[in-house]
């Protein structure tokens, strides 16, 4: 019992946990959860909602807390030892999950309640819990023969290991590359802040000169501003070749193994493909609807994208005599063209977007819309000194959530940005059984923004500002959760609905009323000039056609991998090229591959779901149009959004919730109009 993960705790006891604690704790807590489940299956009473469905929902709480801490740190603060433990822990958890979902006695009890559902007096939330629980069993093999259940277990164990290995390879390849620059002339065009950051990275690595890495805060500025085309090419090829071709961490076979196993799994469960299996439980419902949705957008976006590309290529030729635009030219010339068209340079904007000010800005927005106050509390335990912690309270001072903010890159942290949870929201009975407690959630945002240097604070690009708002939108979805059951709480919603709260929040970044709340010059304190705000708004749809095409290409690649039988695929690269189809603008390069580092679909939860970013854009454009009509800080609209979207989690059908908020189904034209595609 000296293991902190086996003791009672509310806040995650990060500083007390050693790597040696994880495996024994998770093993012990799997046994505890099995005992909790056994109490349900051995119950001689007739199965009821309370003694079966609700009882099952309340199992495994300690196990969930321990595994959330472990896997969150495997993403945000990992090391070789944690990665090794993950390879041991994942099969244990996969087997345990199978033990649960293939437990015939447990399934019989749940099915008994499910078959009687029409005769029971259940709330909407209880009905949803019962339906999700029953489908959880039925969709994961409960009705299979014993022989097929053994096959399913084997597939799930292999998949759990392959997903981890895929992510480890991408991280290792990202960390392994560095571009050491010794001549300052090779940094021509790079902003002073980016130069200083590169010099700092070099010093940290014990080297002279400047080091550019594949971490976004280092990679993106170099690709956008560095005049040295040969070095941009070198960097782009390194980024595009992560875990591809002849390297120790090669993901090509992992990709093929993952998609083949997912297909076998779907077939075993009676589905045509992995996409058919996944989409049955999404708003989109079927691969056919997803393909129709993506192709409809492709028809609208392709002409605009081609026009933008032709203009960019002509611009590059006129400026520098570039005959054929390559992928490593895209960001560089796009930035030059944007500056020419709008007299807008990210470097002009960055001084107004000091990280601490942007954080305060998003907190102020949450206060104006949802009456939340964020109080920094450095006494809350963290896993790294970069992490800031807050108590989130309402107007009465009552705790709404704990919020962890982790915003800078480091070697043990995967790239990108995400929201996660260390503790779910749920309503639980008091110890005396006479009342209830609304147990509040612990939410985290993790990003990779430029670190402060000796002379400058962390200054964000406008794109990074929207990223911060995006992840904070997910955070609000978690923080404002208000449901009885943890499995239906917060972001536990249909995957193509989960991006609505995040994507809608990005819209406020373009509004004068919002920018004036936080966009002040880090040296002078001057509020961002109206002229720059107008330029931000004017440039909002710059290259929207090309951006849309890029997102559609990712969605189509995902659906290609997961929408049909992959048994005969032998070349990852050839298959990928075919999947991209009409979305391609730049010349094909044999040395880069998207799939081998496409962590969203091969390590994260977006398999057969990447389309949901665009799907949710339709929702967010339509929803924000409502805010614009009534006022972007309108409390009535904000309260409806909180009451029917943010707080309800997965307790009701997402389209029903959206209609309750909006008063109508989403109008796709809102997205096309905002994007300037109609």
Inter-CA distances, 625 with 402, 590, 637, 651, Å: 31, 43, 11, 25
Q: The dihedral of CA 665, 671, 673, 674: what is its sign? A: positive
DSSP state letters, 641-677: HIIIIITTTTSS-HHHHHHHHHSS---THHHHHHTT-
Query: Is the distance from CB of 608 to CB of 566 less than 8 angstroms?
Result: no
Q: Contact at 8 Å (CB) between 402 and 380?
A: yes
Residue 550 and residue 562 in contact, taking contact as beta carbons nearer than 8 Å = no
Which residues are tagged catalytic? 471
Contacts 24+ apart (CB under 8 A), 29-33: 29/5, 29/60, 29/62, 29/63, 29/66, 30/63, 30/92, 30/93, 30/96, 32/62, 32/63, 33/59, 33/60, 33/62, 33/63, 33/96
Distance CA 624, CA 671 (A): 10
Contacts of the segment 108-117: beta carbons below 8 A, 24+ positions apart: 108/47, 109/40, 109/41, 109/43, 109/47, 109/52, 110/47, 110/52, 110/53, 110/56, 110/134, 110/137, 111/137, 112/46, 112/47, 112/52, 113/47, 113/48, 113/49, 113/52, 113/53
128 burial type by CB count under 10 A (0-12 exposed, 13-18 middle, 19+ buried): buried
Decide: 291 and 559 in contact? Cβ < 8 Å. yes
Integer-rounded Cα Rg, in Å, for the chain is 25
152, 98 contact by CB (below 8 A): yes
Backbone φ, ψ for residue 552 (5° rounding): -65, -35
Whether the Cβ atoms of residue 519 and residue 357 lie closer than 8 Å to each other? yes
Host H or E run for residue 464: helix 462-479
Q: What is the tally of helices (H) and strands (E) in the chain?
A: 27, 9
Angle, in degrees to the nearest 10, between helices 572-580 and 252-268: 70
What distance in Å separates the CA atoms of residue 422 and residue 472, rounded to the nearest whole number?
A: 16
DSSP letter at 383 equals S
- At 594 the three-state DSSP class reads coil
Helix axes 572-580, 544-562, angle to 10 degrees: 130
Other C-beta atoms lying within 10 Å of the C-beta of residue 318 = 9
Residue 425: both structure tokens together = 């929201």
Write down how long the chain is: 678
Q: How far is CA 200 from CA 173, 346, 457, in A?
A: 21, 21, 13
Please give the Cα distance from 481 to 495 (Å, whole number): 16
């Amino acid at each position: 019992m000296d293991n902190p993960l086996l003791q009672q705790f509310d806040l995650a006891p990060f500083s007390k946990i050693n790597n040696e604690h994880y495996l024994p704790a998770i093993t012990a807590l799997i046994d505890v959860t099995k005992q909790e489940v056994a109490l349900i299956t051995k119950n001689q009473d007739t199965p009821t909602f309370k003694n079966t469905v609700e009882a099952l929902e309340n199992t495994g709480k300690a196990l969930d807390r321990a595994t959330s801490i472990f896997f969150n740190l495997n993403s945000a603060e990992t090391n070789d030892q944690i990665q090794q433990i993950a390879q041991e822990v994942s099969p244990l958890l996969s087997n345990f999950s199978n033990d649960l979902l293939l437990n015939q006695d447990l399934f019989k009890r749940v099915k008994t309640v499910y078959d009687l559902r029409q005769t029971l007096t259940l709330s909407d939330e209880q009905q949803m819990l019962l339906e999700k629980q029953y489908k959880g069993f039925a969709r994961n093999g409960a009705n299979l023969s014993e022989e097929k259940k053994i096959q399913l277990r084997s597939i799930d164990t292999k998949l759990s290991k392959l997903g981890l290995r895929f992510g480890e390879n991408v991280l290792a390849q990202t960390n392994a590359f560095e571009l050491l620059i010794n001549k300052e002339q090779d940094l021509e065009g790079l902003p002073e802040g980016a130069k200083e950051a590169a010099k700092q990275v070099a010093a940290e690595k014990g080297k002279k000169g400047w080091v550019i890495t594949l971490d976004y805060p280092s990679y993106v500025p170099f690709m956008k501003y560095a005049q040295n085309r040969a070095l941009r090419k070198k960097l782009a090829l390194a980024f595009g070749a992560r875990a591809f071709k002849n390297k120790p961490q090669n993901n090509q076979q992992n990709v093929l193994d993952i998609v083949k196993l997912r297909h076998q799994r779907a077939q075993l469960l009676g589905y045509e493909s992995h996409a058919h299996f996944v989409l049955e439980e999404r708003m989109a419902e079927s691969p056919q609807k997803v393909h129709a949705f993506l192709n409809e957008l492709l028809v609208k976006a392709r002409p605009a994208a081609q026009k933008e590309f032709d203009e960019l290529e002509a611009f590059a030729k006129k400026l520098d005599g570039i005959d054929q635009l390559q992928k490593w030219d895209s960001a560089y010339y796009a930035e030059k063209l944007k500056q020419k068209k709008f007299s807008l340079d990210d470097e002009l904007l960055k001084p107004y977007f000091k990280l601490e000010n942007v954080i305060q800005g998003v907190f102020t927005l949450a206060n104006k819309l949802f009456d939340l106050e964020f109080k920094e509390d450095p006494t809350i335990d963290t896993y790294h000194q970069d992490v800031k912690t807050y108590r989130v309270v309402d107007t009465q001072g009552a705790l709404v959530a704990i919020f962890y903010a982790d915003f800078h890159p480091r070697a043990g942290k995967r790239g990108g940005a995400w929201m996660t949870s260390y503790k779910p929201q749920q309503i639980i009975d008091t110890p005396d059984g006479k009342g209830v407690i609304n147990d509040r959630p612990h939410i985290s945002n993790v990003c990779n923004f430029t670190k402060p240097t000796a002379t400058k604070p962390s200054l964000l690009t406008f794109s990074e500002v929207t990223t911060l708002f995006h992840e904070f939108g997910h955070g609000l979805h978690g923080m404002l959760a208000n449901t009885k059951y943890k499995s239906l709480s917060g972001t536990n919603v249909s995957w193509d609905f989960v991006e609505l709260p995040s994507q809608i929040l990005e819209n406020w970044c373009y509004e004068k009323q919002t920018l004036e709340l936080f966009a002040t010059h880090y040296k002078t304190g001057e509020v961002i000039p109206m002229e720059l705000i107008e330029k931000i708004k004017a440039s909002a749809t710059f290259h929207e056609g090309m951006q849309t095409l890029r997102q559609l290409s990712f969605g189509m690649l995902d659906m290609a991998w997961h929408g049909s039988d992959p048994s005969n695929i032998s070349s990852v690269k050839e298959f990928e090229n075919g999947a991209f189809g009409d979305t391609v603008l730049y010349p094909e390069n044999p040395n880069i591959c998207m799939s081998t580092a496409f962590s969203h679909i091969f390590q994260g939860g977006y398999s057969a779901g990447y389309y949901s970013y665009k799907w949710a854009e339709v929702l967010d454009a339509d929803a924000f149009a409502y805010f614009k009509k009534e006022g972007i800080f309108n409390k009535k609209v904000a309260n409806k959004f909180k009451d029917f979207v943010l707080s309800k989690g997965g307790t009701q059908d997402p389209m029903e919730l959206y209609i309750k908020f909006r008063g109508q189904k989403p109008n796709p034209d809102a997205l096309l109009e905002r994007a300037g595609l109609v």
